[in-house]
Structure 1
Amino acid sequence: MSRFVEQWILVFVWGMTLASLLFIPRDKYRSALTIFLFKQCITWLLGLLVVEWGWIDYPVRLFWKVNATSFTFEYFVYPVICIFFMLHYPERRGGWTKLAYYAAFTTGILVPEYVIEHYTRLIDYLHWTWYWSWISLFLTFVLSRWFYVWYFKPVRPDKIKP
């Protein structure tokens, strides 16, 4: 695929992700921003590690002189997806439903990544496979959920000191 087409894929992804932000309820902006920033911290570290260790390469990317990771995915798309993951999390459902929710979001990210890896130069797996991506995505969702629950835990009235 030509570099021109790959650049337009990046522009399309940015446009769709920016448009999706319009669907965040106004009363959830604080939660959304907290989720977004926490997920960026995780993906920044993991993204840099896998690139520096030579497991993944991003031949076509934004800010190619500054950073070897995929700015589009690591710093924008994935954190925005995590916002929707958290805001629509099945809080009052059973364990199997929650596990299926994690698996659905993880697989929903992995399928386009796998297609992009095979048909474009936006991502190249060097010493990486699709199941490592699936595991790392799943675990970062779990870690983000733990943080979200910890950060936004409700204060019980019996725990408030006078």
Structure 2
Amino acid sequence: MTYLNEVIWITGCFLISAYLLLFLPMHRYREAWVVFLFNQTLTWGIGVVIFSAGRISSPVRPFPNATNQYVLDGYLFYPALSVLSYFLGERCRSRMEVHLLTLSTAALITAWDYTETRFTRLKEYKGGITSLYVFLIAAAALYLTRWFALRFFQDLHKENSRRED
């Protein structure tokens, strides 16, 4: 299939956009942007280090003259999944459910990344980078994003819980 790269990306972008529109409360867009931008910053920083070290290459990328990185995952897809994970985590009743949700989201990111490296030319790993590393980095980024957003909006969450009481 010659258009597999485009099909995977169009499908992924459509699905993630639909999920964000369905699950994201409209009155909490600012909170969603903070989560999105913080995760984007983390994935960009990690990506710069990994790409600069030559561990990952991107033969096919949307902006070849601008950067050597494959920017669409770290700038759109992974941060959007972190927003979904953050807001779905609020529906969890226990810490165990939050951990399971975070690890499931990291597994979804890993599966997406594996699909891109295995079936397309969007990314190629070199020097021992495996899916385990992708999973660990994704889980750490999701946990850090959740921690940052909860600290950043701590007063807002306290005020909302007082209103509910």
Give yes or no for TM over 0.5. Answer: yes
1:114 corresponds to: 114
1:160 corresponds to: none
In structure 1, list runs of 5 or more residues that go unmatched. Answer: 158-162
Tell me, in whole angstroms, the C-alpha distance in 2 between the residues paired with 1:92 and 1:81. Answer: 17
Could you state the TM-score of these two structures normalised by the residue count of structure 2?
Answer: 0.84
Tell me, in whole angstroms, the C-alpha distance in 2 between the residues paired with 1:137 and 1:44. Answer: 12
2:163 corresponds to: none
In structure 2, list runs of 5 or more residues that go unmatched. Answer: 160-165
Secondary structure of 2:89's match? Answer: coil
**Equivalent position amino acid for 1:145 in 2:** R
Report if the CA contact (8 A) 1:58-1:69 is conserved: yes
1:137 corresponds to: 138
Report if the CA contact (8 A) 1:57-1:69 is conserved: yes
Report whether the alignment pairs 1:17 with 2:29: no
More helix per residue: 1 or 2? Answer: 2
Could you state the TM-score of these two structures normalised by the residue count of structure 1?
Answer: 0.86
**Equivalent position amino acid for 1:99 in 2:** H
What is the alpha-carbon root mean square deviation over aligned residues? 2.0
Q: CA deviation at 1:67?
A: 1.3
Percent identity over the alignment is 24
Secondary structure of 2:78's match? Answer: helix
2:29 corresponds to: 29
Report if the CA contact (8 A) 1:90-1:97 is conserved: no
Q: CA deviation at 1:91?
A: 6.4
Report if the CA contact (8 A) 1:117-1:123 is conserved: yes
Structure 1 pair 126–153 and aligned structure 2 pair: CA distance change class (3 A): same
